Structure 1
């Protein structure tokens, strides 16, 4: 039964990313890139400026805090394990396609988060909330589709992504002697690792302790951990690059040459699933989530004077995730000269790469980084889920049902640690793909609204003003909760 289910999920994943999502992601990203006149590059300095703006309401989430929550979800175990897998399977060229999906995805992230701000709803406590489900219902008048998207998000983040984060963390222990010496046991015909079981229990308990404090605690915890985590990781990558400076020209040369090598691009004899394009796009999307419809849930909670400000902030999050953190992983693997086709993948590949430079310290650092990455990912993901649960219920859920959900989510954290490599990755890819298939056509339909908001923002900036949004300016008078 387990093998049959794993095989089915693998086939679905292969179809989605071979034929459907590659066209949708690149097509929508390029469409908004040209329509916005390269907003992700043109307004990158502006996005950095608006991150520092403060909120005047203690009940609201600032632009920086919203950036940290979305970055906590984006910057996760996929930035280490996912990038290593992409390189091990797709080769050097996969890095280029990750870069490309991030650059074009920046425009997509801008649009979806701007829309989330425009159509956000008022919180009784004085804050705001929203996301794709809300702009689907408000603009397309379809609560049914909004509920379908909310269910897909909960399944993806509480299930697929959180199980994957748990698995990726536990997999980093396989390179240590104690993992094998601890042994295994068989239950119900399936073999389980003692370390995976014990580690899964500990991780689930730690997450439960944190999330039982509610969404505000999630914001506070991620606001502290994400900057520390990201800076430490990038600094380590810079040290590796400096110590292997002579390797960088050849590494960059292979990234670009193999990205456009026909065999590497399309998989050659091993098939498209192992190609640089497929691996780069799958792991790039998993890492930065542009177009998936997750970050808009955090964007809608921010207190800003103009929706475009939060669109710019979430656009910046995509660059932080892929251009900085994913590139850091790629360079740590490739600059050390380790054989990326030598049989290692995921966390063990990165650990082996760092071991060539730092000895025994390298693997320990990756385990520590994965612990922080996994923990902040688990917390940020549950922040998204709770908003969608409230949407499905059409009210703010009480403490009892929300507590039940949190315990179930923590149980899934334990389950993820026990799954196999192929199943846990394919399941996350499929669930994430379902979200993108719903969200991408919706933001194309609503793209005109986001572009009008961008035009209004730029006109006010050129006039030397701090942009303030009015819904009536773009023809949405009385159609939004906040901007009238």
Structure 2
């Protein structure tokens, strides 16, 4: 097992080396500049469009499509992932998570806009789309589309989709409520099977019900923690900015970190959290009831802001101001320690555990859908049921692996998934810019035209 961990650690360092970091940030920076900071000036329109009905083509509402994507992104990355980034890269990793989130908003817009533009109707009459479709039909690179679908399947099976989420749920339930691991795994498997067998509409229904509730609840809990410790908040921000550009010395249970480690782990965990550039959210966006690719791109763009710039920030501040990042704990236990220190041992542990249970469960549902889209693209309808059986089986055994191993595995397959998608976005950059500018110009013209009396 140690040999496997060492091998995965080496592979992860290679995958998340300078080339991928430059490709991720460079793609987001390109669209940020050429779309005129659309993620900032277009954000009010994003929230306005979110609840508007537009067109009859699609399977779920715009808001439900966003919630399905957020179900997959608001997960252990917001609690365990942030803790892992700060533990390995120091407080400065949070700054690089913010940068990944800000630039990721532009990337998320581009990929979700293309998903609606190139979506297709399958044999069941459902809307299907995502990077494999805009790669295949937009660039003509069928081999790259199949490679993306294969990597998506690996992420669903061995990355974000199963093992990190199940492990977090099992450990959290045992620590906070002394529930036996086996009992948790059985109950979780039954719940997952009951939802995923209903397809996108059932997944979207559950996500629409759970995601807003769990996100608001967690934000309120973190906000209460920060308000009770408001004197330490400015110092926490100062330490984050200082550590982003300076090495952090070892101290307590913290092993020390270089600036490169802060960048690497901050961006890797930021992408793990908001999935901008991975190409996952476009598969959910393609199911939205909308006739405008640009409008769904704008709605989807809000995802990284809600996920990384708000929820991850709140978790990170709790870790830094409480000093938990310098302790001996890691993962969910480290975040629980932060809440225990700032609130109380009883309240803190319960808050983190309940948040983890909901966050991880919805992430499993979202990634089951993504993996299924990949299977259907690769082998067609005959692969749907076998895929669901295998996915549920992996959920059933997901709590048996070690935390360090599953995070390394998740990092590797996440990075591999991002490469084909980012290449496609850059190849299709001209039509992304042209379609966006045409839509914004038409909207501005419509707003300036005199309204009939």
User: TM (normalized to structure 2)?
Assistant: 0.92
| Whole-angstrom CA distance in 2 between matches of 1:457 and 1:128 | 23
Deviates more, 1:138-147 or 1:291-300: 138-147
Deviation string, structure 1 residues 256-291 (Cα, Å, up to 9, x no partner): 111121457xxx996759821112111101000100
SS in 1 for 2:400: coil
SS in 2 for 1:61: coil
TM-aligned CA distance change 1:177 to 1:199, over 3 Å: closer
Deviates more, 1:301-310 or 1:69-78: 301-310
* Alignment of 1:278 onto 2:260: no
What residue number does 2:82 align with? 83
Contact 1:115 1:449 in 2 (8 A): no
TM-aligned CA distance change 1:58 to 1:128, over 3 Å: closer
Aligned length: 442
Across the aligned residues of Structure 1 and Structure 2, the Cα RMSD in angstroms comes to 2.2
Deviation string, structure 1 residues 45-91 (Cα, Å, up to 9, x no partner): 11111111124539622111110011111111110110111112222
What residue number does 1:477 align with? none
* Alignment of 1:312 onto 2:298: yes
What residue number does 1:171 align with? 171
What residue number does 2:312 align with? 326
| Whole-angstrom CA distance in 1 between matches of 2:58 and 2:35 | 33
Deviation string, structure 1 residues 163-184 (Cα, Å, up to 9, x no partner): 11111222324645847xxxxx
Deviation string, structure 1 residues 382-420 (Cα, Å, up to 9, x no partner): 111222221112x4x15xx42322121111113321111
TM-aligned CA distance change 1:175 to 1:88, over 3 Å: farther
| Whole-angstrom CA distance in 1 between matches of 2:303 and 2:416 | 22
Contact 2:75 2:360 in 1 (8 A): yes
* Alignment of 1:421 onto 2:420: no
| Whole-angstrom CA distance in 2 between matches of 1:420 and 1:307 | 41
TM-aligned CA distance change 1:130 to 1:174, over 3 Å: same
TM-aligned CA distance change 1:272 to 1:440, over 3 Å: farther
Contact 2:67 2:211 in 1 (8 A): yes
What residue number does 1:26 align with? 25
| Whole-angstrom CA distance in 1 between matches of 2:122 and 2:244 | 47
Deviation string, structure 1 residues 138-180 (Cα, Å, up to 9, x no partner): 022232221221111011023311111111222324645847x
* Alignment of 1:431 onto 2:417: no
What residue number does 1:342 align with? 327
Shift in Å, 1:421:
1.6
Q: Kindly report which structure 2 residues correspond to 1:85-484, keeping only aligned pairs within 5 A, or say none.
A: 85-123=84-122, 127-161=126-160, 162-173=162-173, 175-176=175-176, 178=178, 195-262=180-247, 275-335=261-321, 337-356=322-341, 357-393=343-379, 395=380, 397=381, 401-464=383-446
* Alignment of 1:5 onto 2:1: no
Shift in Å, 1:217:
0.7
TM-aligned CA distance change 1:271 to 1:366, over 3 Å: closer
Q: Unpaired segments of 5 or more residues in structure 1? A: 180-194, 467-484
| Whole-angstrom CA distance in 1 between matches of 2:355 and 2:97 | 21
Deviates more, 1:416-425 or 1:15-24: 15-24
What residue number does 2:451 align with? none
| Whole-angstrom CA distance in 2 between matches of 1:132 and 1:27 | 19
| Whole-angstrom CA distance in 2 between matches of 1:257 and 1:215 | 44
Contact 1:72 1:376 in 2 (8 A): yes
Deviation string, structure 1 residues 407-441 (Cα, Å, up to 9, x no partner): 21111113321111221001111111011111111
User: TM (normalized to structure 1)?
Assistant: 0.87
Contact 1:63 1:303 in 2 (8 A): yes
| Whole-angstrom CA distance in 1 between matches of 2:142 and 2:130 | 13
Shift in Å, 1:209:
1.8
| Whole-angstrom CA distance in 2 between matches of 1:252 and 1:271 | 18
SS in 2 for 1:340: helix
TM-aligned CA distance change 1:177 to 1:229, over 3 Å: closer
Contact 1:55 1:61 in 2 (8 A): no
SS in 2 for 1:232: helix
| Whole-angstrom CA distance in 2 between matches of 1:296 and 1:246 | 41
TM-aligned CA distance change 1:139 to 1:26, over 3 Å: same
Contact 2:93 2:263 in 1 (8 A): yes
Contact 1:282 1:429 in 2 (8 A): yes
SS in 2 for 1:464: helix
